[in-house]
Amino acid sequence: MTLSSLVPALLVALSAGLAHAEVTVTDPWVRGTVPGQQASGAFMTLVSSTGGKLLAVSSPVASQAEVHEMAMADGVMKMRQMPHLDLPANKPVELKSGGYHIMLMGLKAPLTADTRVPLTLTVEEAGQRKTVEVSAPVRALGAAPQGHGGHKH
Protein backbone atom coordinates (compact mmCIF):
# COMPACT_ATOMS: atom_id res chain seq x y z
CA MET A 1 0.00 0.00 0.00
CA THR A 2 1.35 3.40 -0.95
CA LEU A 3 1.10 6.48 1.22
CA SER A 4 -1.29 8.18 -1.20
CA SER A 5 -3.77 5.32 -0.87
CA LEU A 6 -3.32 5.12 2.90
CA VAL A 7 -4.21 8.75 3.66
CA PRO A 8 -7.73 8.76 2.16
CA ALA A 9 -8.48 5.46 3.92
CA LEU A 10 -7.41 7.00 7.21
CA LEU A 11 -9.58 10.07 6.67
CA VAL A 12 -12.61 7.90 5.94
CA ALA A 13 -11.96 5.90 9.11
CA LEU A 14 -11.67 9.08 11.16
CA SER A 15 -14.83 10.70 9.86
CA ALA A 16 -16.79 7.46 10.31
CA GLY A 17 -15.61 7.37 13.92
CA LEU A 18 -16.68 10.97 14.47
CA ALA A 19 -20.17 10.41 13.10
CA HIS A 20 -20.68 7.42 15.36
CA ALA A 21 -20.91 8.73 18.91
CA GLU A 22 -20.12 12.35 19.51
CA VAL A 23 -21.51 15.44 21.07
CA THR A 24 -21.84 18.02 18.33
CA VAL A 25 -21.48 21.68 19.24
CA THR A 26 -22.94 24.33 16.97
CA ASP A 27 -22.91 28.12 17.08
CA PRO A 28 -20.90 28.62 20.27
CA TRP A 29 -20.37 32.16 21.53
CA VAL A 30 -19.40 34.04 24.65
CA ARG A 31 -20.77 37.38 25.78
CA GLY A 32 -18.09 40.09 25.85
CA THR A 33 -17.33 41.90 29.10
CA VAL A 34 -16.16 45.33 30.24
CA PRO A 35 -13.09 45.81 32.51
CA GLY A 36 -13.85 44.82 36.09
CA GLN A 37 -16.63 42.43 35.15
CA GLN A 38 -16.07 39.09 36.88
CA ALA A 39 -18.50 36.80 35.09
CA SER A 40 -19.99 36.13 31.68
CA GLY A 41 -22.06 33.54 29.87
CA ALA A 42 -21.21 31.02 27.15
CA PHE A 43 -23.91 29.76 24.81
CA MET A 44 -24.18 27.02 22.16
CA THR A 45 -26.33 24.18 20.92
CA LEU A 46 -25.38 20.63 21.93
CA VAL A 47 -26.51 17.41 20.26
CA SER A 48 -25.57 13.94 21.49
CA SER A 49 -26.03 11.16 18.95
CA THR A 50 -26.40 8.48 21.60
CA GLY A 51 -27.77 10.51 24.50
CA GLY A 52 -25.59 11.63 27.36
CA LYS A 53 -24.81 14.32 29.86
CA LEU A 54 -22.76 17.48 30.05
CA LEU A 55 -20.88 17.04 33.31
CA ALA A 56 -18.46 19.93 33.55
CA VAL A 57 -16.89 22.83 31.71
CA SER A 58 -13.54 24.52 32.08
CA SER A 59 -11.81 27.43 30.37
CA PRO A 60 -8.39 29.02 30.77
CA VAL A 61 -10.01 32.50 30.82
CA ALA A 62 -12.00 31.81 34.00
CA SER A 63 -11.09 30.41 37.40
CA GLN A 64 -14.38 28.52 37.44
CA ALA A 65 -17.06 27.48 34.95
CA GLU A 66 -20.46 26.07 35.87
CA VAL A 67 -23.54 24.87 34.04
CA HIS A 68 -26.46 27.07 35.08
CA GLU A 69 -30.18 27.16 34.56
CA MET A 70 -32.09 30.41 34.59
CA ALA A 71 -35.72 30.13 35.55
CA MET A 72 -38.53 32.00 37.23
CA ALA A 73 -38.85 31.29 40.96
CA ASP A 74 -41.49 33.18 42.94
CA GLY A 75 -41.75 35.78 40.19
CA VAL A 76 -38.00 36.44 40.10
CA MET A 77 -35.49 35.26 37.51
CA LYS A 78 -32.96 33.13 39.34
CA MET A 79 -29.91 31.15 38.36
CA ARG A 80 -29.01 27.82 39.81
CA GLN A 81 -26.14 25.48 39.21
CA MET A 82 -27.01 22.19 37.51
CA PRO A 83 -25.19 19.05 38.71
CA HIS A 84 -25.24 18.03 35.05
CA LEU A 85 -27.20 18.81 31.89
CA ASP A 86 -29.08 15.95 30.23
CA LEU A 87 -28.55 15.54 26.50
CA PRO A 88 -31.34 13.34 25.07
CA ALA A 89 -30.33 11.34 21.97
CA ASN A 90 -30.43 13.45 18.81
CA LYS A 91 -32.31 16.29 20.49
CA PRO A 92 -30.64 19.68 20.27
CA VAL A 93 -30.20 21.26 23.71
CA GLU A 94 -29.92 25.00 23.42
CA LEU A 95 -27.81 27.01 25.84
CA LYS A 96 -29.07 30.56 25.46
CA SER A 97 -29.64 33.83 27.24
CA GLY A 98 -32.44 33.34 29.80
CA GLY A 99 -32.16 29.54 29.82
CA TYR A 100 -29.37 27.04 30.26
CA HIS A 101 -25.96 28.60 30.00
CA ILE A 102 -22.35 28.10 30.93
CA MET A 103 -21.30 30.61 33.56
CA LEU A 104 -17.70 31.72 33.38
CA MET A 105 -16.62 33.10 36.76
CA GLY A 106 -13.45 34.70 38.04
CA LEU A 107 -12.51 36.12 34.65
CA LYS A 108 -8.80 36.84 34.42
CA ALA A 109 -9.17 39.61 31.81
CA PRO A 110 -12.00 41.35 29.91
CA LEU A 111 -13.41 39.28 27.05
CA THR A 112 -13.19 41.47 23.96
CA ALA A 113 -15.09 41.05 20.73
CA ASP A 114 -13.39 39.22 17.86
CA THR A 115 -11.26 37.10 20.19
CA ARG A 116 -11.93 33.43 20.92
CA VAL A 117 -12.48 31.64 24.21
CA PRO A 118 -11.38 27.99 24.46
CA LEU A 119 -13.86 25.83 26.37
CA THR A 120 -13.39 22.20 27.38
CA LEU A 121 -16.66 20.33 27.86
CA THR A 122 -16.62 17.07 29.81
CA VAL A 123 -19.43 14.85 28.56
CA GLU A 124 -20.57 11.32 29.24
CA GLU A 125 -22.02 9.19 26.46
CA ALA A 126 -22.83 5.49 26.75
CA GLY A 127 -21.08 5.43 30.13
CA GLN A 128 -17.88 6.86 28.69
CA ARG A 129 -16.39 10.16 29.69
CA LYS A 130 -14.73 12.32 27.10
CA THR A 131 -13.85 15.92 26.49
CA VAL A 132 -14.99 18.14 23.65
CA GLU A 133 -12.89 21.18 22.79
CA VAL A 134 -14.78 24.28 21.66
CA SER A 135 -13.42 27.59 20.41
CA ALA A 136 -16.16 30.15 21.01
CA PRO A 137 -16.03 33.63 19.44
CA VAL A 138 -16.70 36.59 21.73
CA ARG A 139 -19.62 38.77 20.73
CA ALA A 140 -19.65 42.39 21.83
CA LEU A 141 -21.65 43.17 24.93
CA GLY A 142 -23.54 45.82 22.96
CA ALA A 143 -24.45 43.36 20.20
CA ALA A 144 -27.94 43.03 21.66
CA PRO A 145 -30.11 46.07 20.88
CA GLN A 146 -30.47 47.45 24.41
CA GLY A 147 -29.15 50.98 24.86
CA HIS A 148 -25.68 51.83 26.09
CA GLY A 149 -23.54 48.76 25.66
CA GLY A 150 -20.23 50.37 26.53
CA HIS A 151 -19.03 49.57 23.03
CA LYS A 152 -16.15 51.88 22.09
CA HIS A 153 -13.59 52.05 19.33
Residue 68 engages Cu ion in binding (rule: CB under 5 A) = yes
- Could you tell me which residues are beta bridge partners of residue 73? 76
Task: Region of 151 please: left (phi>0), alpha (psi -120 to 50) or beta.
Answer: beta
Instruction: Say which DSSP state 126 is in.
Output: T
Binding mask of the shown chain, residues 104 to 133, with x at each position contacting Cu ion by CB under 5 A:
------------------------------
Min dist CB 68 to Cu ion, Å, is 3
The region of 1-9, 11-19, 62-70, 83-91 touching Cu ion under the rule CB under 5 A is: 62-70
Helix (H) or strand (E) holding 14: helix 3-20
Min dist CB 73 to Cu ion, Å, is 14
At 148, phi and psi to the nearest 5?
A: -75, 110
Residue 103 engages Cu ion in binding (rule: CB under 5 A) = yes
CB-wise, 79 or 93, nearer to Cu ion? Answer: 79
